[in-house]
């Protein structure tokens, strides 16, 4: 084999390794398109319900029913939580019936779609309670060490903006959802928290303190949209 042939083979091998070392943008785009289709109209199976029925197409959520804002949450976190609902480690009886119709591939597609879209903050069920927000802020930023409750920001980041991929943002989340999850960790069947951390914290908080934390984080604006325009709902 000539030197030029050797060189050509080497270049071909190098380019092949380089190209296959990175995910295809077109493949990632196809996944998101599938996720949007499921979010908009379900996957076509009997009993399948569109995600937007509760979460809206662009993931702004529905505060009135306590449906969370999921726009821009980490893909791996959304995927993990959906699987947790299906496996019973996350208490969500209504959603359990919805995700039971989705395959692993479809779950990943939906997670990819909602991770990459943005939405404006939806109006909450009521204005922040000025008598509770200061208490919630103190718990969020400093904790209640006499109760062995660490500051929320130690795991959820400054102002609750999240620490991907494992800790979601709670900044700007609606208060109904936040309070419901604290109650689920404290008394119900949500058990997908690492080493039972959230279960211990939620149980040590009083009803007033749980409400205060929800009031504080819901009073904040969601994390920035990374320069992307906020679509209409």
The CATH number of whichever domain residue 213 belongs to comes to: 1.10.760.10
Segment among 38-47, 55-64, 109-118, 134-143 with least mean pLDDT? 38-47
Helix, coil or strand: residue 123 = coil
Q: Percent of the chain having pLDDT more than 90?
A: 64
Range of the domain at 88: 25-116
Give 120: exposed, middle or buried? Use CB within 10 Å, 0-12, 13-18, 19+. Answer: middle
Give 59: exposed, middle or buried? Use CB within 10 Å, 0-12, 13-18, 19+. Answer: buried
Instruction: Give the chain's domain count.
Output: 2
In angstroms, rounded to a whole number, what is the distance separating the alpha carbons of residues 130 and 26? 48
Q: What pLDDT sits at residue 26?
A: 54
**Domain end point (choices 62, 87, 116):** 116
Helix, coil or strand: residue 104 = helix
Q: What pLDDT sits at residue 8?
A: 46
Q: Are residues 93 and 151 in the same domain?
A: no
* Band of pLDDT at residue 22, cut at 50, 70 and 90: very low
Q: Which residue has the higher pLDDT, 202 or 3?
A: 202
Q: Are residues 30 and 106 in the same domain?
A: yes
| 104 Cβ contact partners less than 8 Å away, ≥ 6 residues apart | none
* Band of pLDDT at residue 101, cut at 50, 70 and 90: confident
Is 82's pLDDT higher than 80?
yes
Q: Estimate the crossing angle of helix 175-187 against helix 197-204, to 10 degrees.
A: 100
């Amino acid at each position: 084999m000539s030197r030029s042939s050797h060189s050509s083979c080497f270049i071909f091998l190098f380019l092949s390794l380089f190209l296959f070392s990175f995910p295809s943008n077109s493949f990632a785009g196809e996944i998101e398109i599938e996720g949007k289709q499921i979010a908009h109209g379900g996957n076509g199976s009997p009993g399948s319900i569109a995600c937007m029925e509760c979460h809206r197409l662009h993931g702004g959520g529905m505060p009135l029913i306590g449906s969370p804002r999921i726009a821009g949450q980490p893909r791996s976190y959304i995927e993990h939580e959906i699987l947790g609902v299906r496996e019973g480690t996350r208490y969500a009886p209504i959603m359990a019936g919805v995700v039971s119709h989705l395959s692993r591939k479809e779950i990943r597609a939906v997670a990819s779609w909602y991770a990459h879209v943005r939405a404006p903050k939806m109006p909450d069920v009521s204005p922040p309670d000025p008598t509770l927000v200061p208490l919630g802020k103190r718990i969020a930023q400093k904790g209640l060490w006499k109760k062995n409750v660490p500051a929320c920001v130690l795991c959820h980041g400054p102002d609750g903006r999240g620490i991907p991929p494992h800790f979601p943002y709670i900044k700007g989340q609606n208060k109904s959802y936040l309070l419901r999850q604290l109650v689920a960790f404290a008394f119900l069947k949500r058990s997908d928290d690492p080493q039972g951390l959230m279960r211990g914290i939620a149980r040590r908080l009083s009803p007033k303190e749980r409400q205060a934390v929800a009031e504080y984080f819901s009073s904040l604006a969601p994390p920035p949209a990374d320069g992307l325009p906020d679509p209409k709902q």
